[in-house]
């Protein structure tokens, strides 16, 4: 990914065909050592191709990938009336504990 990002940055800056040395220079400027085999793979895959067309093709592929999260699981049904009343009482007790008492300190004192 870092090699592709460096390649795209160079292309954006006006270098239509970045070389391995160009990409190494970009990566070394931020303290990243480039691996020769991966760098050669990126350059060989992108050589002679139109980046705008590749980005457009990639965008259409990403559009078909589901990216929404799944909905939360449904709450279990209460077993009986007494069981449903117990959680309500617990919630009321929690609210009492979380009161807004300032303990003698005010925000603007």
Domains in the chain: boundaries: 1-64
Confidence at residue 63, expressed as pLDDT on a 0 to 100 scale: 79
What is the DSSP secondary-structure string of 32-83? -PPPHHHHHHHHHHHTT--HHHHHHHHHHHHHTS--SPPPPPPPPPPSSHHH
pTM of the shown model? 0.53
Confidence at residue 100, expressed as pLDDT on a 0 to 100 scale: 56
Confidence at residue 16, expressed as pLDDT on a 0 to 100 scale: 82
Q: How confident is the prediction along the chain (109 residues), in pLDDT tens digits per residue? A: 888 888 888 888 888 888 889 889 998 998 988 888 888 888 888 888 888 888 888 888 887 877 766 555 565 665 555 555 556 566 665 555 555 566 666 666 5
Confidence at residue 49, expressed as pLDDT on a 0 to 100 scale: 84
Confidence at residue 60, expressed as pLDDT on a 0 to 100 scale: 85
**CATH number attached to the domain at 1-64:** 1.10.10.1410
């Amino acid at each position: 990914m870092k090699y592709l990002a460096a390649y795209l940055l160079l292309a954006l800056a006006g270098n239509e065909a970045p070389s391995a040395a160009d990409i190494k220079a970009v990566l070394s400027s931020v303290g990243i050592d480039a691996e020769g085999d991966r760098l050669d793979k990126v350059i060989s895959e992108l050589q002679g191709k139109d980046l705008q067309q590749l980005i457009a093709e990639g965008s259409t592929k990403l559009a078909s990938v589901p990216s929404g999260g799944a909905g939360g699981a449904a709450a279990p049904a209460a077993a009986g009336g007494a069981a449903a009343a117990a959680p309500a009482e617990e919630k009321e007790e929690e609210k009492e504990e979380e009161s807004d008492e300032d303990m003698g300190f005010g925000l603007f004192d």
